[in-house]
Amino acid sequence: MSARPAEKLAIAVAQINSTVGDIAGNVEKAKRARAAAAAQGADLVVFPELFIAGYPPEDLVLKPAFQIACRSAVETLARETASAGPALLLGTPWLDSGKLYNAVALLDGGAVTALRYKVDLPNYGVFDEKRVFVPGPMPGPVNFRGVRLGVPICEDIWGTEIVECLAETGAELLVVPNGSPYWRQKGDVRLNIAVARVTEQGLPTVYVNQVGGQDELVFDGVSFGLHADCSLAFQLAAFQETIVTTHWVRRNATWRCENGPVVASVEADRADYTACMLGLRDYVNKNGFPGVVLGLSGGIDSALCAVMAVDALGAERVRCIMLPYKFTSQESLDDAAACAKTLGVRYETLPIASAVEGFETALTPVFSGTPRDVTEENLQARARGTILMAISNKFNLMVVTTGNKSEMSVGYATLYGDMNGGFNPIKDLYKTEVFRLARLRNGWKPEGAKGPDGSVIPENIITRPPTAELRENQKDEDSLPAYAVLDPILERLVEREEPISAIVDAGFDRDTVMRVERMINIAEYKRRQAAPGVKVTLKNFGRDRRYPITNRFRDPGTPMPAPDVSLITGKPAKSEAFDF
C-alpha cells in the first residue's frame, strides 16, 4: 500500500552568506541554520548553490583535496540529520565516477538520500562553470516525505527543457538553489524567468538565493516563492542573511504558501550603494584585515569611498590620510577634514613634498634637459601610492582604491599611484553615478550601515568641479570630455558594445566617440593591473570583460558592409543562415 501524500510542508529558506573555501565555517553555519529552522518547525532547510564550497569556487574546486573535504563535510552534516529536526537540501561539488558535478544533496535520516546534478552550466559573463564541472543528466524529482520535489539548480530554470522534464516526471513543487549575483535590474530578470517556468508548467516554486560578497561579485539574496498562478508567495530581504520558514499546504492538487512574508526589495541607486558597501565589508572581513586605509583628497571619489568604508566596517576600522602637495588647494584640505570629522575616522595629514622632490632629485641625471610633463604629475600620485602602501604594510590595513569606472575606462589614473590598493568599492560606478550616490547617501542610510545618519559628504565636495590637483588650476575636463557626455558614450561602448557608427547616429559627436574608443583600447594594460572591485553594472572590468592587451583592432567609425558569405561557402549568400 503506497504512502499517503503529504498535505503540509514547512520549507526553511536559508539565505546565508557562505565563504569560498571555508568548508568548516560553512558547515557550522549550516548547523546553526538547521537549529534555527528546527525551532521554526521546518521539515526541510534549503541552502544556496554550492553552499559547502562557497560560490563561485572557480579552479579551487578542481583540487582533489578540496573535493574530498567538501564530500566529508556533506557526510558529516548527513549524520547530523539522524537526530530529530529538519532535513537539509545542500549545494556542494560532488565527484561521481571521475566526473565533477555542481550538485545538490538531500540529507535526511542520517544519510545522503538523493543527489541531483546541475544540467545547464552557464559559460558567459561572470560564469565559466563548463571549465570546472560536467553537466548532469536530465533530472527527475526527489521524493521527500511524500512530496515529489523538483530541484533544478540556478541556470537550470533559465531554459524550458529541464523544468519541463521535471514536470513530466511528476514533480509537484520546484525548489531552486541559486548563486545568482547582483547587477542592476537582475531581480526583475530572475522573477520574470521564474514566472515563465511557472506559467509553462504550473509548478509552484521556491527560489533560494545566496547573499554576500565574493571578490568582485555581490549576491543580493531576495529569495522568493511563486504559487502556481504566478502570484508572489513570499519574498525575503535584499543584502541580508536570514532564515525564514515558509509553510506550504496542498490545496486542490497544488501547493500554496500560507502567510508568507513579503519584504520590499531595494531598488536602483539604493541597491547599488548597498551592494558596494556589502562587497567591501565581505572582502575586508573574509580576507582577515583588521581595517582599511585610504587617501582622502577632498574629492568626490575618495569621500564616497570613505563613507562606504565607514558604513561597511565602522569608523574605528577606517583610517584616512590627506597627502597634500603644493597644488593641493585649501578648499580640498578643508573639505577632506570636514568629511573625516563627520565620519569620526582617524585622520592624519602627511605632506608629500619631500617625497616628490626626492624622486625628482634622483631622476635629475636622466631627466636633465627634458621639459616637465605628465611624468612629474604622476610622481605625485606614485608618492601617495607608496605612502599608503607603507601604512598598509606597517599596520596590516588594506588600501581602499578610489578610482571610478569613467577613469578606469579611459586610463585617467596612474599605475602604481592612485591605482594602488587591495579593493575598490566604486570601480563599476561611472563618475556621474558617484555624484548621484553621494547625494543619495546624504539623505538616506542603508539597512545595516555603521556610519552616521544625515549628511556625511560636505556639499562643496559634491558641487565643485572634479580635479586631480596634479598641476595648477587643473580640472578633469581639461583632459576628458565632460562626464555628462563621456559616461553615456562609455556605457554604450563598454556595456552594450555598440559600434561607433550607432553611437554617432544616436546624436554623439563622431570625433569625441572615436577619441573615447581609442582611450578605452589603449588603457587595457592598466585595467589588467587594477584592484578588484564590486560589480554593479551589466558588464564590469574584470570577470565580465576579458579583452587582449595586445590588440590592433579599431572600429573605423563607419557602418560596416554586410559579410559576403559567398566567399566562404562558394554559394550565393543567404544571410539568414549565418549569425555573425
Q: Verify cis geometry, omega within 30 degrees of 0, for the bond prior to 56.
A: yes
Spatial separation of the C-alpha atoms in residues 35 and 84, rounded to whole Å = 10
H/E stretch holding 461 reads helix 459-463
Per-residue pLDDT at 164: 94
Per-residue pLDDT at 470: 72
**Which one is predicted more confidently, 173 or 251?**
173
**Cα 173 to Cα 96, 124, 257, distances in angstroms:** 27, 29, 11
Respond yes or no: is residue 348 known to be catalytic: no
**How high does pLDDT run on average in the chain?**
90
Sign of the CA dihedral with 58 first, then 62, 65, and 71 last: positive
pLDDT surpassing 50 at residue 268: yes
CATH of domain 9-265: 3.60.110.10
Close Cβ partners of 56 (under 8 Å, ≥ 6 residues apart): 20, 50, 126, 127, 129, 179, 214, 217
pLDDT surpassing 70 at residue 541: yes
All three cell numbers of 250? 496542498
**Most confident among 126-135, 207-216, 248-257, 526-535 (mean pLDDT):** 207-216
Secondary structure of residue 260 in the 3-state scheme: coil
Per-residue pLDDT at 3: 56
Per-residue pLDDT at 571: 37
Pick one of 3.40.50.620, 3.30.300.130, 1.10.3720.10, 1.10.10.10 as the CATH number of 270-472: 3.40.50.620
CB 265 within 8 A of CB 235: yes
Rg (CA), the chain: 27
**Which one is predicted more confidently, 244 or 146?**
244
Per-residue pLDDT at 568: 52
All three cell numbers of 262? 513579503
Instruction: Give the total residue count for the chain.
Output: 580
Mean pLDDT throughout 293-305? 95
CATH 3.40.50.620 domain span(s) along the chain: 270-472
CB 537 within 8 A of CB 183: yes
All three cell numbers of 76? 558529516
H/E stretch holding 244 reads strand 242-251
Exactly one of 29, 70, 118, 407 is catalytic; name it. Answer: 118
Mean pLDDT throughout 424-443? 95
**Most confident among 2-11, 137-146, 154-163, 307-316 (mean pLDDT):** 307-316
CATH 3.60.110.10 domain span(s) along the chain: 9-265
Spatial separation of the C-alpha atoms in residues 284 and 288, rounded to whole Å = 6
Per-residue pLDDT at 123: 84
For residue 25, name the pLDDT band (cuts at 50, 70, 90).
very high
Beta strands in 27-185, from DSSP E residues, in sequence order:
44-46, 87-96, 99-108, 111-117, 142-144, 147-150, 173-178
**Structure confidence by residue, pLDDT tens digits, 475-534:** 777 788 999 999 999 999 999 999 999 999 999 999 999 999 998 998 888 988 889 999
Respond yes or no: is residue 257 known to be catalytic: no
Q: What is the CA angle 535-538-539, rounded to 5?
A: 70
**Which of these, 283, 238, 177, lies nearest to 535 by C-alpha position?**
283
Exactly one of 29, 70, 129, 154 is catalytic; name it. Answer: 154
Per-residue pLDDT at 267: 87
pLDDT surpassing 70 at residue 469: no
Per-residue pLDDT at 562: 61
Spatial separation of the C-alpha atoms in residues 410 and 422, rounded to whole Å = 21
pLDDT surpassing 80 at residue 570: no
pLDDT surpassing 70 at residue 462: yes
pLDDT surpassing 70 at residue 1: no
Per-residue pLDDT at 578: 27
Respond yes or no: is residue 118 known to be catalytic: yes
What φ, ψ does residue 185 adopt, rounded to 5°? 65, 10
H/E stretch holding 196 reads helix 186-201
Per-residue pLDDT at 477: 73
pLDDT surpassing 50 at residue 573: no
Per-residue pLDDT at 550: 76
Per-residue pLDDT at 18: 95
Q: Which of 159-173, 430-444, 525-539 has the lowest mean pLDDT?
A: 525-539
H/E stretch holding 254 reads strand 254-258
pLDDT surpassing 90 at residue 224: yes
Spatial separation of the C-alpha atoms in residues 198 and 92, rounded to whole Å = 26
Spatial separation of the C-alpha atoms in residues 320 and 303, rounded to whole Å = 10
**Structure confidence by residue, pLDDT tens digits, 438-456:** 999 999 999 999 999 999 9
Per-residue pLDDT at 563: 61
Exactly one of 29, 49, 155, 286 is catalytic; name it. Answer: 49
**Cα 46 to Cα 25, 86, 147, 157, 573, distances in angstroms:** 17, 10, 15, 17, 53
Spatial separation of the C-alpha atoms in residues 361 and 292, rounded to whole Å = 32
